Amino acid sequence: MKFFHLSDLHIGKCLNGYSLKENQEEVFRQIVEAARQYRPDAILICGDVYDKSVPAAEAYTVFDHFLSELAGIEPSIPVLIIAGNHDSPERLNYASAFLERHHIYLSVLPPEREEEYLKKIVLTDEYGPVNFYLLPFLKPGYVRGLMAEERAGCTYEEAVSFVLKREKIDREERNVLLSHQFYISGEDRPQVCDSEQPSLTVGGLDEIDIRVLEDFDYAALGHLHGAQRVGRESVRYCGSPYKYSVSEERHEKAVTLVTLGEKGKEPEIQYLPLHGLQDVRRERGTLEEILRRGTEETRHDFVSVTVTDERESFAMREQLEEVYDHLLEFHMDNDRVRKTLEETGEEIPVLRPYEAFCQFYQAVRHGAMSEEEEAVMKKIIEEAKEEDA
């Protein structure tokens, strides 16, 4: 069985004020063309369809067109979608009953009542059934009503493990999970980038070890923007289809094409490259060098520029903007700047709430918090973030 693994579309996202609509439409067009060419048995979209919980009308139009193009392929290809942490479950779930008649299946919330279970879509091939389990983004508070009172304050890992164990998954059959969480493998943490850092919780509270995924032949993950495996080949983040920050400069964006053979065999992984209309990248060098590199093929990219001239020219930023019409950032790096930093001290980092409180506690109490106090503070901050969301 072949399926496309996609995630983190972030429709409606802007990059330093610049709209990414045309670039997103281009990569979606390429995905549709790849679906026509490779004829996958299913297309998985593993969360963060939209960039904001209240998307602009334009974002709905873009996604509607993408789904319409996929639904128009004959024979029809089932599209399986879960909500991510950026999505509003209510808005994403709109018209879900109608969409299912077109083989588009949505799951936006985990089970909340005793009689509820994960949405399960069963497809078959020459080796028998493949069970696709749809697990949307989950916080422990979402499933508190299902869990015993003594476990109400569980971790992300305990909550996900609890939900999966309720399913009583048949390990004799092939099983695929769609999930949008932050998974790790023992002490190994996946690589993250600037565009997803704000979504990760303080103190590693959202970390989930992949041992909870042992029942699955493939785990299709969303949440991180860089394509990578977690622990084993069959547990993968596919990454976003477009670069959403300069920190993703070296990412090779692609559709992850997974071929699942008979039970017990490792899935085959193939990458189908995706390219937006504009690249997202860095430029570094003297002003003259950077201006000279601005050809018609490169000058329209989203660029972060670092100029290394020792003598600063007049209106440097304006000169750069005359050549690069999507300038994201402008930095200077020369002896004078470095000397100023040495004299004034290091730049003050922007701390996360937990780190800031640790420094405050140390200054006031002249000592570090106990493990119990750390746990209480982390819980308070996480609950505050849930209420804010």
Residue range 311-362, pLDDT digits in tens: 878 889 999 999 999 999 999 888 877 777 776 655 544 456 776 777 676 6
CB 220 within 8 A of CB 176: yes
**Per-residue pLDDT at 6:** 98
Structural domain boundaries in the chain: 2-273, 280-344, 353-388
Does a cis peptide bond (omega within 30 degrees of 0) precede residue 75? yes
| CB-based contacts of 86, cutoff 8 Å, min separation 6 | 10, 47, 48, 50, 51, 52, 53, 199
**Per-residue pLDDT at 14:** 94
**Per-residue pLDDT at 130:** 98
Smallest CA-to-CA distance from 222 within 261, 169, 183 is with 183
**Per-residue pLDDT at 348:** 45
Smallest CA-to-CA distance from 184 within 216, 230, 215, 222 is with 230
Q: Which long-range contacts does 272-279 make (Cβ < 8 Å, 24+ apart)?
A: 272/34, 272/38, 274/27, 274/30, 274/31, 274/241, 274/242, 275/26, 275/27, 275/30, 276/20, 276/23, 276/24, 276/26, 276/27, 276/242, 276/243, 277/22, 277/23, 277/26, 278/23, 278/302, 278/326, 279/243
Cα diameter, the chain = 70
All residue ranges of the chain with pLDDT < 70 are 149-152, 197-203, 343-352, 355, 359, 361-367, 383-389
Helix (H, G, I), strand (E, B) or coil at 73: coil
**Per-residue pLDDT at 382:** 72
Smallest CA-to-CA distance from 251 within 274, 235, 229, 269 is with 274
Which CATH number applies to 2-273? Answer: 3.60.21.10
Per-residue tokens: 200: 């990760």
**Per-residue pLDDT at 84:** 96
CA triple 203-205-210, angle to 5 deg: 125
